[in-house]
Structure 1
Amino acid sequence: MKTSDLSIKELAAFIRVSTDTIRRAVRKGEIPATRVRTALRFDLQEVSTYMQRNAEARFGARSTRAPGGTAGRAQADQPPAGKTGAQFLEERL
């Protein structure tokens, strides 16, 4: 896949967001874009670098993973295999 001169649709598909999300991020200055006549074009490397910097500035982290992931959740609160959530709650109450 080419990594420069991506359209809004191509960039949205690559990073798995909607085209509206891309347009909103451009308006807010969250990702860099180049205007070619009436169309916006993106360089994937520039977008990736810019998003990484924004994540570091916002969350003080070097990762672009969303905060509050599943890594810190206690496994003991998971329902045992073969039981529904309702059965699990009945036992705990």
Structure 2
Amino acid sequence: MTRTTGRPETLATSLFTVLGTLVTQDAAYQPAPAPDAPAGCPDQVRASIAAVVEEHWATEQRDYEEQDPADRPGHPFTHLSRLNAHLGLGLH
């Protein structure tokens, strides 16, 4: 995976690149179920999200901790933390 600067737009680009590559190159990929189907996250999508979170974790955590608390809301690390907790990645 290409290293990025860790800013929100590069995180989004990185995530969409990973997922876009997954969708276009993986013939076994199945799109998300219809809204009335049981909730779930395909293993391939979970793995892609985990790869993006792990790639940016240390850089964004460091940047977050250096920010004034008033500037932290909406920081990319808050989103990475939410994904980490939801997916049970165990990053600290």
TM-score when normalising by structure 1: 0.24
- Greater helix content: 2
Q: Quick check: which has more Rg, 1 or 2?
A: 1
- Greater strand content: 1
